[in-house]
Amino acid sequence: MGETKTCKESRVYRSSRVFPNDFNNHNTLFGGRLLSDMDQVASISAAKHSRTECVTASVDTVEFLQPIRPEESVTFESFVIWTGTSSMEVFIKVHAENLRTGDSKIAAIAYFTFISLDKNGRPNHVPQIVPETSEERYLYEKSKQRSQFREDKRSHNKEIILFLRENHILA
């Protein structure tokens, strides 16, 4: 068996405040701002796991569960939950805490897939993941379904691109 690493070895936490320019006209955090922050944190988890440069391959199943308001802080938690040969699936959980009352909630979850790259920019082998906690084992077991979903999505997208090219809609 090749090299292995635990989920906790890639775990990243980052907390931040949200400021007036981060909010939309509904006085909630812009979804695009949240996605950008999720990508940054998830990329650190992927790099910690692989110890290589990594690129985002896909963003799957972003769920905005609760709006984030001006009086709340945001904490991002991410870690690798599944690995392929050169790919890694990173789970991101976003916590929001009301800084006045102390109430907290899970505001969003997402799954990002990263590819490890070698010095020549080619896909690079990554260590296999070993889940330890019940949460990690649950997410790892469910990753098989998400992997099949990503494979089906890639096939479907290839059909769309082929159609667009054949009909001169896409160069």
pLDDT for residue 100 is more than 80: yes
Give the pLDDT of residue 144: 85
- H helices, E strands: number in the chain: 2, 7
Give the tokens for residue 7: 């989920």
The end-to-end CA distance of the chain, in Å, is 45
Residue 1: pLDDT band by 50, 70, 90 thresholds?
low
* Mean pLDDT value across the chain: 94
Give the pLDDT of residue 86: 97
* pTM across the whole model: 0.89
Give the pLDDT of residue 3: 95
Domains of the chain: 4-133 (3.10.129.10)
The residue type at 76: F
Q: Which H or E run includes 45?
A: helix 31-50
Phi (first) and psi of residue 99, to 5 degrees? -75, -15
Which whole number is the average pLDDT over 126-139? Answer: 97
Task: Give the other-Cβ count within 10 Å of 6's Cβ.
Answer: 17
